[in-house]
């Protein structure tokens, strides 16, 4: 077990009250595994990812629960110890490559700096490693490009540099928060291929945060679906796509365009996600759910196993009896 998050709560104190961004989420990532977290904006998926490395500002944020990284509780570590893990054992790739690179430092500079944070390297050795890293993420002519400033690169190239930066510390886990959201589709495919290739070569695990079911299908072995700060379903990618148990998952899958599906209108999900400021009783998705009944509005559905390795939080999800 590489990473185990148990009962994670992340709350933010705001002027309007306490915002429960993440409300009791548990997840596990094994060595070499790819776990995807999907959900719409505001579902808490990025906050979950950011709290793993304690990148949430405290205050106004507050993180509770247990985050176990190779046995050690990350929430109990000192700032100094967490800093060692950040960019070292755990690398992070952010959504916006354009703004995630410092505009006044050349990419080589930023790489050398990050490399030297985590390894004892002299400048020349770090520069050689930087060129290697840039080559390994598929940046053409890394030797010449190393002095370039970020604005000289295209979005796809910038994201390659971001990945090189995340790989600088030879991480065992890579957290990728919407790594392809700002890129066009062909570049998306290249970046996903790059991440897959990196996993194959190093055996590192990947925690992929995305809102794109297409990306999930392509990259992840397991999926967690989040809605309004809670995990509503978790299964292997294959099972989730074949038999989605939660109506929200079904709705998400219905909103994915498919080739050869004719001119059918994409199914949209009516309504908006509920406010995270006050949580009523009942299922958070009930007001938008087509199959919601009385019990959905009254009782919060527990997360329970519906099939082997498949959990969902829905009163109406069919339960497949496990042959004992």
Partner 1 sequence: MSVLAPDRMVARDLPQVTPPAAPYRLLDIARSQPGMALGGGLLVLLLLIAIVAPTLGTVDPTAVSTARRLRPPSAEFWFGTDAFGRDLYSRVVYGARVSLAVGLITALVASAVGLAIGLVSGYVRWSDWVIMRVMDGVMSIPPVLLAVALMTLTRASVGNVIIAITLAEIPRVSRLVRGLVLSLREQPFVDAAIAAGTTTPRIIWRHILPNTLPALTVQATYICASAMVIEAILSFIGAGTPSSVPSWGNIMADGRALWQVKPSLIFIPALFLSVTVLAVNVLGDGLRDALDPRRPQAG
The helix (H) or strand (E) run that includes residue 50 is helix 45-52
Is the CB of 153 or the CB of 219 nearer to partner 1?
Answer: 153
Residue 289 in tokens: 């759910």
Q: Supply the minimum distance, in Å, between the C-beta of residue 200 and partner 1.
A: 24
CB of 297 to partner 1, least distance (A): 39
The nearer residue to partner 1, 114 or 210, going by C-beta atoms, is 114
> Can you tell me the distance from the alpha carbon of 242 to that of 132, in angstroms, rounded to the nearest whole number?
41
Minimum separation from the CB atom of position 67 to partner 1 (A) = 15
Count the neighbouring beta carbons within 10 Å of the beta carbon of residue 267: 13
Sign of dihedral through CA atoms 103, 108, 111, 117?
Answer: negative
Given 3-state DSSP classes, what are the helix, strand and coil percentages for the chain, each rounded to the nearest 5?
35, 25, 40
- Closest approach of partner 1 to the CB of residue 12, in Å: 15
Residues lying near partner 1 in the complex (CB under 8 A) are found at 53, 55, 83-88, 91-92, 94-96, 99-105, 113-114, 117-118, 140, 149, 151-154, 157, 162, 165-166, 168-169
Residue 141 phi/psi, 5° resolution? 50, 55
Cross-strand partners of 310: 307
Comparing C-alpha atoms, which of 27, 65, 5 is closest to residue 311? Answer: 27
Least distance in angstroms from the C-beta of 55 to partner 1: 6
Assign 129 to helix, strand or coil: helix
Q: Please, which residue, 2 or 162, has the CB nearer to partner 1? A: 162
CB closer to partner 1 out of 188 and 237 = 188
Separation between Cα atoms, residue 29 and residue 36, nearest integer Å: 10
Closer residue to partner 1, CB minimum distance, 34 or 46: 46
The least distance separating partner 1 from the CB of residue 185, rounded to whole angstroms, comes to 15
104 vs 185 by CB, closer to partner 1: 104
Which is nearer to partner 1, 166 or 251 (by Cβ)? 166
Whole-number Å distance between alpha carbons of 39 and 48:
12
Residue 42 CB, nearest distance to partner 1 (Å)? 18
> DSSP labels for 160-202?
HHHHHHHHTT--SEEEEESTTTTS-HHHHHHHHHHHHHHHHHH
Report whether 173 contacts 32 (CB < 8 A): no
Nearest residue (CB) to partner 1, 53 versus 67? 53
In whole angstroms, how large is the CA radius of gyration of the chain? 21
Q: Is 95 or 249 the residue whose CB approaches partner 1 more closely?
A: 95
Cα 300 to chain center, whole Å? 25
- Count of Cβ atoms closer than 10 Å to residue 104 Cβ: 7
**Shortest approach of partner 1 to residue 269 CB, angstroms?**
29
Q: Are 150 and 119 in contact (CB under 8 A)?
A: no
| Least distance in angstroms from the C-beta of 138 to partner 1 | 13
């Amino acid at each position: 077990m590489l990473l185990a998050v148990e009962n994670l709560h992340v709350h933010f104190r705001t002027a309007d009250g306490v915002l429960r961004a993440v409300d009791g989420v548990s997840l596990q990532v094994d060595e070499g595994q790819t776990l995807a977290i999907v959900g719409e904006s505001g579902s808490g998926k990025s906050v979950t990812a950011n709290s793993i490395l304690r990148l949430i500002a405290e205050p106004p944020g507050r993180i509770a629960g247990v985050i176990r990284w190779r046995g050690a509780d990350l929430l109990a570590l000192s700032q100094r110890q967490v800093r060692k893990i950040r960019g070292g054992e755990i690398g992070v790739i952010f959504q916006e490559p354009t703004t995630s690179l410092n505009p006044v430092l050349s990419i080589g500079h930023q790489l050398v700096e990050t490399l030297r944070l985590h390894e004892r390297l002299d400048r020349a050795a770090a520069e050689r490693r930087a060129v290697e890293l840039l080559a390994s993420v598929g940046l053409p002519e890394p030797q010449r490009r190393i002095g370039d400033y970020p604005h000289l690169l295209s979005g796809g190239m910038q994201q390659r540099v971001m990945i090189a930066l995340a790989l600088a510390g030879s991480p065992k886990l890579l957290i990728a928060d919407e790594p392809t959201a700002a890129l066009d589709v062909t570049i998306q495919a290249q970046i996903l291929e790059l991440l897959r290739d990196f996993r194959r070569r190093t055996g590192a695990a990947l925690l992929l945060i995305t809102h794109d079911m297409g990306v999930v299908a392509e990259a992840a072995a397991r999926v967690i679906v989040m809605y309004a700060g809670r995990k509503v379903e978790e299964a292997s990618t294959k099972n989730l796509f074949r038999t989605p148990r939660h109506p929200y998952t079904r709705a998400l899958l219905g909103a994915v365009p498919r080739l050869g599906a004719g001119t059918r209108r994409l199914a949209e999900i009516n309504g908006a996600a509920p406010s995270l400021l006050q949580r009523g009783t009942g299922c958070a998705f009930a007001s938008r759910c087509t199959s919601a009944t009385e019990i959905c509005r009254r009782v919060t559905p527990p997360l329970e196993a519906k099939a082997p390795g498949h959990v969902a939080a829905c009163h109406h999800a069919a339960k497949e009896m496990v042959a004992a």
